[in-house]
Each structure stands twice: as C-alpha cells, then as structure tokens.
Amino acid sequence: MLSGKKILLGVTGGIAAYKTTYLVRLLIKAGAEVRVVLSPAARDFVTPLSLATLSKNPVYWEYFDRESETGTWNNHVELGLWADLMILAPLTANTMAKIAQGQSDNFLMAVYLSAKCPVYFAPAMDLDMYKHPATRENIQKLESFGHILIPAEKGELASGLEGEGRMAEPETIVGAVISDLESKAPLRNKLIVINAGPTYEAIDPVRFIGNRSSGKMGMALAEAAANYGARVQLILGPSSQDSNNPAINIKRVESTQEMFEATTAAAQNADWIILSAAVSDYRPKNPANQKIKKSDGGMLHLDLVENPDILKSIGQAKKDYQLVVGFALETENAEANAQKKLDTKNCDWIVLNQADDKARGFGHDTNEVLMISRKGQREKLELKPKKELAYEILDRLIKHHTA
C-alpha cells in the first residue's frame, strides 16, 4: 500500500525523534518516497544529515538558508501539496497544541497547514502530560480534523517513569498507516487484469510487424490500481516498462496469440479486465525460419492472416459481475469508430485516445481521452501525465461501477 506513495514525515522536538531514522528506513523499504520536515527543536534530537542520507532527499526546517545569499527559499505550499500522506512522529504536546489552535510559527507548521492529504499523528510525551485534560482535548480536536491517531504506548519514559506516553514503535506506525490505507482502498479485494504494450508478429527470426506503443498507459493503470488496493495481473507485450510493486504480477508476452492466451486465462477469475494493449490485428501467415535475404526484384510479398480479437473474446465471455474496459486508438472518425467498437465487442467502456502531434497517444508521457460507456455516460479527461490520467480513469470507473 505504500509503494509509490509520497510521504511527508514531520518530526518534532522529543527524545523519540531518534527513532525516526528507523521509521524513514521502513517507509523507504516499503517503496515510499519520503521527505522530512523538522521543527526547530527536533534538530537537538536527530540530525538533518542522518535523515537526508536515509531518505535521499533534502531535510527542511526553515523557510530559507540564512547563510546563503542566493535568496533561495523552501516553498511550504508546494511541499504540503506534494504529499500523498503526512505522518507527524513524534508529536509533542507543544506542537499538538499549536495544530489544535492553527498556529504557524515555524516551517513545519506552515507545511502542515498547506497539506491537503491524510495526516497520521503519533504523540510522544511524559505520562502525566499525555493524560492531562488539555492534551486529551487536543487529541480529540485533531481527530475532529479527520487526522488518524496512532496511540502512544506504555513503557519506560525519558523522565524515568513507567507508563503511557512512549511514541509507538516505527513498525507499529507503518503498520497502522498501511492498515488504514487498506481499509479505505476503493479497489481492495479486487483482482484486475490489464494488458498493455505492443505485440510483435515475426516475419523471420530478426524482423517483425509491430507498432509504436510504449506500454506507459497500461503500466500507469496497473500502478494506480495497485495503489487503490487491487491485486493486478499485468499482461505486458514487448516494452521497457517495469514495476517493483508487490501487488502487480507481470507476465511478459510477445505475439498477439501469446497475449490472447494469457489474457483470456487470467480474465476468467478477474473482477475488472482493462485491455489497453495495442495488439497487432494481423500476422504473417508463414514466418520464415531463417533471415529473409534481399531479393534482386526489390519486392517482398507477405501473406497476412487475422489475429484473435482479444477484446471481442473477453466481451463475449464476460460474467455478469465483471467489468470490461477496452481502449481504442483512432486517427480519423474517432468517436464513431470508438462507439462501433463499444457496440460490437460487448464491453462496458471504451477509452478513446488519438495518435497525433498533440503530445498524446503512443510514446508520449501525456495523454487525453474520452471515456464512453454502454449506458451512454461520457467522461472527457483533459491532457495530463499518464500517471495522473490513470487515477482519473479508475476514479470514473469506480464512480459508475460501484454506484
């Protein structure tokens, strides 16, 4: 659940701050990208250098470098909006009170107030401070903001007393965040099959018929679906795309026949089937066993035969509970051709995109699409990076399919 997540870690000035080095390591190991923001007092307990080395990102604690004459400043708004989630650990009684009152007297507080993402907080203080009515009231106030409490634990405290107030251990914090994300994941418990990339049809051992598909859109959909809690089976044609997300199982294929067999087999038990691959419609009838030599006549004749229609086959076999989404890449009469594909192949949605010089289609990092459903819904998604577009496509499917 943390793979690919952008996490802000806010560290305040308590002795438990030393544990944040291990917390950063755990978050990085889980696949997250971590940026650390310190309160001014936190630097007395843990060094920025340690956290920067572990996170592989700069550590922030002030608006600008006072020793620099360049005028460079740290943009608290940009940093707050960057994050997918924020963890405040350890959160002292002092900073908790500032949050409850909406104060902004340091860089960490400004970043917090700028963040629009979910916030998790792990208090750390002495037991009497933790039990004080003002602290209990502030915890309730933070929870009323929608923030998620990771309760303090019992144990030996810095004061020498024994009791409740210790910051939750880093493993507990990571586990609490993952459990919360899993409980809210819109595609949890779903198996989603996605195919992506081109297919190559052999002419001879060194030549093939193919297309310019990169597989970027399909991979973006796979990553987004996994981050939404799904288990993903990705059938991937010849492509440089890859993923280390443990929720994504990649099966690599080359020809349309191989993709047909792998996709139809995987689709039998799938909840959603998203067919974004740019498959070859035809293949050479008799591919040569050896490299074809150039002839004196300057002509090469190839007999082509039709490949299996993966979308049509999946559409005809789909079960009542399954959602089937096809992709259509068109260069002319785009909407009419996409509608025809939707009508004839028994899928629930067609995602139409066009190949042209407008930074969309094959090979680009951006795309814009029109989603059309069998029920007549139309969703126009404007030009944006494919990684962002993937979430928007899934959001529309979730909205309409789970309503």
CA distance 373 to 351: 9
Is 19 among the annotated ligand-binding positions?
Answer: no
Percent of the chain with pLDDT over 70: 95
Every domain of the chain and the residues it spans:
6-184, 191-401
88-104 tens-digit pLDDT: 999 999 999 999 999 99
Is 327 among the annotated ligand-binding positions?
Answer: yes
Is 178 among the annotated ligand-binding positions?
Answer: no
C-beta contacts of 249-257 below 8 A and 24+ residues apart: 253/199, 254/199, 254/200, 255/199, 255/200, 255/201, 255/202, 255/280, 255/283, 256/199, 256/201, 256/280, 256/283, 256/307, 256/308, 256/310, 257/283, 257/307, 257/308
pLDDT, residue 187, reads 94
Q: Which of 61-65, 145-149, 322-326, 385-389 is least confident? A: 61-65
CA distance 292 to 190: 47
Helix axes 256-267, 310-317, angle to 10 degrees: 20
Q: Based on the number of CB atoms within 10 Å of its own CB, is 294 exposed (0-12), middle (13-18) or buried (19 or more)?
A: exposed
Is 309 among the annotated ligand-binding positions?
Answer: yes
pLDDT, residue 133, reads 97
Is 234 among the annotated ligand-binding positions?
Answer: no
Query: Could you give the residue numbers annotated as active site?
Result: 211
Is 281 among the annotated ligand-binding positions?
Answer: yes
pLDDT, residue 300, reads 82
Judge whether 6-184 and 191-401 match in fold: yes
**Mean pLDDT of the region 192-204:** 96
Is 64 among the annotated ligand-binding positions?
Answer: no
pTM: 0.75
- Examine the pLDDT at 75 and tell me if it is beyond 90: no
C-beta atoms surrounding 176 within 10 Å: 18
Q: Which CATH class is domain 6-184?
A: alpha beta
241-280 tens-digit pLDDT: 999 888 899 999 999 999 999 999 999 999 999 999 999 9
- ∠ Cα 350 352 358 (to 5°): 165
| Residue 198, both tokens | 């081109």
Q: Which of 69-78, 144-153, 377-386 is least confident? A: 69-78
Q: Please state which architecture CATH assigns to domain 191-401.
A: 3-Layer(aba) Sandwich (3.40)
Q: What rounded mean pLDDT belongs to the chain?
A: 92
> Which residues are paired to 202 by β-bridges?
208
335-379 tens-digit pLDDT: 999 999 999 999 999 999 876 656 666 667 888 999 999 999 999
